[in-house]
Amino acid sequence: MTGHLRHPLTYLQPPARPTGTPDRRALSVYYGPNALNVLCRYRRVIVQPGHYRVDAVRWLQARGVQVLAYLSLGMDSSPHGDWLRGAPDPHWHLRPVDARHPEWRARIEAQVLAHKAVFDGFLLDTLDSASDPVQVRAMLKLVRQVRQWAGPCYLMANRGFGLLPRLGGTINGVLIEALSTTWADGYRTYERHELEYTAALVAQARRLHLEVYGLDYAVTTRARRFALRRAEALGVPTFVSNRELTLPGGLLPRLAAPERHAHGSLSSTSA
């Protein structure tokens, strides 16, 4: 389903196309502090807004960097709150929220209004926590409200593919986390059926006229190389980092562990 916005999307750009080598400096996803001298090498960066003062963000923007603030719409780290529901996530200890709850919506609105004066846009994370029809409808409404609150800011969804077909004209881009590699159950490259699945996600995003980016996880040179080569084949710029996203320039060859082929080898499965 497509739609039109009341306000023009000044940052809306054509989706990436597999017409050549994607720009490996297109995106950095970094959740640590500082590192401005590294982040300034990228065209677009995603950061934790609490780690950067206004002057730091302005410094990056003056150098042509578009700075997006992380924003979780479906999970929360608060220990208490009437909007919380369900058990904490075992990896990050975040709890899913009731996207219908007025206090949660008020919290999101306050964050958007505060940060849009500083940042160029937002990464909308944890959209996939809306798993039942009631929460899906509520999340769709919340994302549309974020668009209204954010005005012409750039909005990038982290996955959320079950929602995106119903958000025509609302989102500018999509980040496919774990495009070719993952840290879940140990760092590894995807098997063939998993690669086919994420390739289908890329195709879906392009049909929706969204900019497409990848985020991959690796600790070895082989896995890093595999992620970059597959991203190049897909025409999708990907950022390869560690699970904690504490590498502003991504996983570099000098940081990656070499492959071990003897007993206890670190294996990478490719298609």
Residue-range domain boundaries for the chain: 72-241
Cβ neighbours of residue 212 closer than 8 Å, sequence gap 6 or more:
15, 16, 173, 174, 176, 202, 205, 206, 236
Length, in residues, of the chain: 271
Ranges of residues in the chain whose predicted pLDDT is under 70: 1-21, 24, 87-93, 259-271
* Phi, psi (rounded to 5 degrees) for 39: -60, -30
Q: What is the pLDDT of residue 271?
A: 30
| H or E stretch covering 147 | helix 133-150
Tell me yes or no: is domain 72-241 CATH 3.90.950.10.
no
Q: Are 183 and 167 in contact (CB under 8 A)?
A: no
pLDDT for 187? 95
Token duo for residue 172: 């500018």
Q: E strands, the chain, where?
A: 27-29, 44-47, 66-72, 75-76, 95-96, 121-125, 154-158, 173-177, 181-182, 188-189, 211-217, 238-241
Crossing angle of the two packed helices 192-207 and 221-234, in degrees rounded to 10:
40
Closest CA to 62 of 40, 91, 30, 84: 40
Q: Which pLDDT value is given to residue 233?
A: 97
Give the pLDDT confidence score for residue 196 in this predicted structure. 97
Instruction: Provide the pLDDT for residue 268.
Output: 37
